[in-house]
Amino acid sequence: MTHKPGDLPSLTVNCLLRELGGVTMVLTGTAHFSAVVPFDAAFIQPILSREKMGFSVFCFLFEGVEKMMGQQISAGISRTVQTRLVLPPDTNHMGTIFGGTVLAYIDEIAAITAMKHSGKVVVTASIDTVNFLSSARIGNVLILEGVVISTGRTSMEVYVKAECQDIETRERTLTTTAILTMVAVDANSKPTPVPGVIPETEKEKKLFENAQARKERRMKLNEFAKELV
């Protein structure tokens, strides 16, 4: 059956636009960040005209890409834990670990976590939130845990928490929490699609649900940052 752009029903779907193989495609958004746009004749007709394809061909391509983008994997796949001993070179004159050292550890585990989720090389796009709640001291064991909590088309939000453990008492104290945005890149250092994520724990589910609010806050901060340039 042959279809014309005018035959398209007016629907609303979560979708994103990107260039894939030189053809502009409409991708069903697997991420919490997907934008809602009208999927109707006015929206699709310019794409069909520019790419010189019929509606049937477009639907075939769209279905294939939709399946590809619809992949989701459990947050447990990316979950990463690292353990470090706090040594004298890691600390300041008060015997507590440098904040910059903790940040370096957080950035490293976030990258590993994101690579495990995406199966791609990643770069740090932003460190969105860092909370220093307490300090680790010389001789403490620092335990870091990272997990992907939400995804965009090519980006991943990674939640990292750091706890310090006293060797003698074995008591653990939460020292730092952070959320970072990592972007997967291909061999040409171009952003590349990543799978969606399925949260496991109640904490992860709550962070997943609030992903849109965090995105909006990042956008506002980015606008503010432009004013400082």
Instruction: Give tens-digit pLDDT for 177-218.
Output: 999 999 999 999 999 999 999 999 999 999 999 998 898 888
**Which pairing describes strands 23-28 and 172-185: parallel, antiparallel, or unpaired?**
unpaired
Residue 11 in contact with residue 51, Cβ under 8 Å?
Answer: no
Q: Whole-prediction pTM value? A: 0.68
Q: At 90, is the secondary structure helix, strand, or coil? A: helix
Query: Which residue type is seen at 15?
Result: C
Look at residue 48 in the predicted model and tell me its pLDDT. 57
Residue 36 has pLDDT above 60, yes or no: no
Look at residue 53 in the predicted model and tell me its pLDDT. 54
Residue 111 has pLDDT above 60, yes or no: yes
Q: At 17, is the secondary structure helix, strand, or coil? A: strand
Look at residue 87 in the predicted model and tell me its pLDDT. 96
Look at residue 49 in the predicted model and tell me its pLDDT. 63
Share of the chain above pLDDT 70, in %: 69
Residue 35 has pLDDT above 80, yes or no: no
Residue 52 in contact with residue 91, Cβ under 8 Å?
Answer: no
Arithmetic mean of pLDDT over the chain: 77
Those residues whose C-beta lies under 8 Å from the C-beta of residue 66, and which sit 6 or more positions away, are: 27, 28
Beta strands in the chain (DSSP E): 11-20, 23-28, 35-39, 72-74, 80-85, 121-132, 141-151, 155-165, 172-185, 196-198
Look at residue 59 in the predicted model and tell me its pLDDT. 55
Task: Compute the distance between CA of residue 15 and CA of residue 70 in angstroms, rounded to an integer.
Answer: 11
Instruction: Give tens-digit pLDDT for 60-106.
Output: 455 444 444 458 899 999 999 999 999 999 999 999 999 999 999 99
Look at residue 193 in the predicted model and tell me its pLDDT. 94
With cut-offs at 50, 70 and 90, classify the pLDDT of residue 37. very low
Residue 7 has pLDDT above 60, yes or no: no
With cut-offs at 50, 70 and 90, classify the pLDDT of residue 228. confident
Residue 27 has pLDDT above 70, yes or no: no
